[in-house]
Every structure is written in structure tokens, then in C-alpha cells.
Amino acid sequence: MTVLFAFAAALLFATGTWMLLQRRLSRILIGVGLVGHGSNLLLLTSGGPGGSAPIIGTGDPADFSDPLPQALALTSIVITFGVTAFLLALGYRSWRMTRDDMVENDVEDRLIARQRDRDELVEETRLAEREQRDDEGLE
């Protein structure tokens, strides 16, 4: 069972990673969900093989499954759920504003890159002008 879980977690991580690398927020969201499930499954598996419900007085404590990872997994599921909902809202907002849910590049970075091109252009023109002037001077 543990091996099966491990394979399932691996599969979830692999597909999730692929989806995360996409450009559209809707796909990234699915990726986040898949990877999140993968890690939660891993958390659940980390308690070792399953057993009976861990309620004192219902059976032999040696047969109990470990409740802690289950509690941890529950916590992390709730958190992932909340954040995913927030991301969905963000995606919706982005769609309302731009009719698109592309995750865009940093605008300022592009501005600065363009600035550099412009600086280079200015520099080149200045150099060319100076050469021209020098040539004229020689003549």
C-alpha cells in the first residue's frame, strides 16, 4: 500500500510540475492542486502503514494508525484549499481586467531592457556622428 501511495505521489508531483510550467494561470492552478495533493499524500504516507482508528478504548494501541500525520495533512489541505481559492479569485480578477489569465512578465524589467537598447542606440549615433566629424576634419 505504501509503495502504491509513493507511486501515486510521484505521479502527482510529475504531472503537477508539468502544469506549473505552463503560462496560463488556470493550468498553473491545476498544477498547484496536483503538487499539493502529492505532498499531502506523502504526508499521510509518512505515518507508516495504516491501522484501526486511534481512539483509546476501542482496541489495541499497537494496531492504531498514527494520527499525527493525518492531522498535519488535514491542516495542510485546508491551507492549500484556501490559497487555491484566493488564486482563483485573482485569476478571475485578471480575466475581468485583461480578458486573459496569462501570467505576464515583469513590466519594469522590460522597460529597463528597452532603456538599455535606447541608450546603446544613442551611444552608437553619437559615435557615428563623431567619426563623421573626424572624417570631415581630416579632409
**Alpha carbon separation from 1 to 4, 7, 26, 48, 102 (Å, rounded):** 5, 10, 32, 10, 40
DSSP symbols for 95-126: HHHHS--B-PPPHHHHHHHHHHHHHHHHHHHH
Please check whether residue 91 is in contact with residue 101, taking contact to mean a CB–CB distance below 8 angstroms: yes
Among 68, 121, 127, 128, binds other proteins (CB under 8 A): 68
CB nearer to other proteins: pick between 8 and 20: 20
CB nearer to other proteins: pick between 51 and 69: 69
CB nearer to other proteins: pick between 108 and 139: 108
CA atoms of 110 and 63, how far apart (whole Å)? 60
The contact pattern for other proteins, residues 33-52, with x = CB under 8 A and - = no contact, is --xx-xxx-xx-xxxx----
CA atoms of 133 and 11, how far apart (whole Å)? 68
Chain centre distance of CA 75: 20
The contact pattern for other proteins, residues 78-117, with x = CB under 8 A and - = no contact, is -xx-xx--xx--xx-xx--xx----xx-xxxx-xx--xx-
Given the rule CB under 8 A, which residues bind other proteins?
Answer: 20, 25, 28, 32, 35-36, 38-40, 42-43, 45-48, 68-69, 72, 75-76, 79-80, 82-83, 86-87, 90-91, 93-94, 97-98, 103-104, 106-109, 111-112, 115-116
